[in-house]
């Protein structure tokens, strides 16, 4: 992937009111930046929230990020009560992966990262089983097995926190078949993306393909979402489906579903890495 080395992104959400775009564009103009791309959305022009994503070109921006952040906070963000971030478009994010025994999403992410299709580094893969160690290490990625014994979840989560804290910007659950506690998510303090093998909110929880077969559904799908303490209820990033029929048994549904799972997860990860996803309560704005 070729990215302008002098490009950066500004992402904003705030209560909607007149003058936001003018203030942001004026700030960038005053710094000498050239806006190259802009997306915006208002949930309601009267009393709603406003969302903005801008890409801009500024020579030497990588060395000026701290200066820009301080100035933007003082001159624009405080006045409009903004949640915001300014990031380099060239600095790869660190994407840690959690997985159990299913390998299809994991290997797809590692392959895309190695090819440069995903703008990220993979500092670590953690699994509660040892099965995928060789596959992961063949990509040159460190692999750690952290078993989750009955009654041992607190110890396992503490070990995972030690491996992740300070080493990852986002964690991706590539079919990690364990529920993460609210305490773990709070301590981790970074976004966690999950792939659920169902077109949520249908068939949340375990065995969705079996339950879909019992209901005689005509589509199965996958949902990538941010993880919250409530199981499979976090803000949705991406979804897709494939058509099925009464002729398909559960094994066939799982095989068809696996294809959808890896493409949906890859698209969701790409959107997150490109700073295109803004969370709005229980939902998302995706530019």
Does residue 2 sit within a domain?
no
Helix, coil or strand: residue 164:
helix
Catalytic residue among 6, 16, 232, 275: 232
Query: Strands 83-88 and 7-15, how do they pair?
Result: antiparallel
Pick the last residue of a domain from 53, 88, 123. 88
| Domain ranges, residue 25 | 7-88
The predicted model scores a pTM of 0.91
- CATH number of domain containing 47: 3.30.70.260
Pick the last residue of a domain from 88, 116, 132. 88
Spell out the long-range contacts of 202-211 with Cβ–Cβ below 8 A and sequence spacing 24 or more: 204/231, 204/232, 204/233, 205/231, 205/232, 209/250, 209/253, 209/254, 209/257, 210/250
The C-alpha angle 59, 60, 62, rounded to 5 degrees, equals: 130
Are 82 and 113 within one domain?
Answer: no
Among this protein's residues, is 232 annotated catalytic? yes
- For residues 69 and 62, the answer to whether their CB atoms sit within 8 Å is no
Question: What span, in angstroms and rounded, lies between the C-alpha atoms of 35 and 55?
Answer: 6
Ordered alpha helix ranges (H), 35-145: 61-72, 78-80, 104-115, 133-137
Are 252 and 266 within one domain?
Answer: yes
Query: For the chain, what is the domain count?
Result: 2
- CATH number of domain containing 257: 3.40.50.170
What string of pLDDT tens digits covers the 287 residues of the chain? 567 899 999 999 999 999 999 999 999 999 999 999 999 999 998 999 999 999 999 999 999 999 999 999 999 999 999 999 999 999 999 999 999 999 999 999 999 999 999 999 999 999 999 999 999 999 999 999 999 999 999 999 999 999 999 999 999 999 999 999 999 999 999 999 999 987 666 676 677 777 777 888 788 889 999 999 988 889 999 999 988 888 888 888 888 889 999 999 999 999 999 999 999 999 999 99
Are 109 and 84 within one domain?
Answer: no
């Amino acid at each position: 992937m070729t990215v302008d080395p002098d490009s950066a992104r500004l992402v904003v959400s705030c209560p909607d009111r007149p003058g936001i775009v003018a203030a942001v564009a004026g700030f960038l103009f005053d710094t000498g930046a050239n806006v190259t791309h802009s997306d915006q959305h208002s949930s309601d022009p009267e009393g709603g929230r406003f969302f903005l994503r801008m890409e801009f070109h500024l020579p030497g921006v990588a060395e000026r990020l701290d200066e820009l952040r301080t100035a933007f906070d003082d001159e624009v963000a405080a006045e409009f009560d903004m949640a915001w971030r300014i990031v380099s478009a060239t600095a790869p994010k660190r994407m840690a992966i959690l997985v159990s025994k299913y390998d299809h999403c994991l290997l797809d992410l590692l392959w895309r990262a190695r090819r440069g299709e995903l703008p990220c580094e993979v500092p670590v893969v953690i699994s509660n089983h040892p099965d995928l160690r060789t596959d992961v290490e063949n990509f040159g990625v460190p692999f750690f097995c952290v078993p989750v014994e009955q009654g041992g979840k607190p110890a396992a989560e503490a070990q995972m926190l030690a491996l992740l804290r300070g080493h990852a910007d986002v964690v991706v659950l590539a079919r990690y078949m364990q529920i993460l506690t609210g305490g773990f998510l709070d301590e981790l303090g970074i976004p966690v993306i999950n792939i659920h093998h169902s077109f949520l909110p249908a068939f949340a929880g375990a065995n969705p393909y079996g339950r879909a077969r019992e209901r005689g559904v005509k589509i199965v799908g996958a949902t990538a979402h941010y993880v919250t303490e409530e199981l499979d209820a976090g803000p949705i990033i991406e979804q897709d489906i494939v058509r099925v029929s009464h002729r398909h048994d559960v094994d066939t549904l799982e095989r068809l579903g696996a294809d959808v799972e890896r493409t949906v997860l890859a698209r969701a990860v790409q959107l997150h890495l490109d700073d295109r996803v803004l969370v709005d309560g229980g939902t998302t704005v995706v530019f």
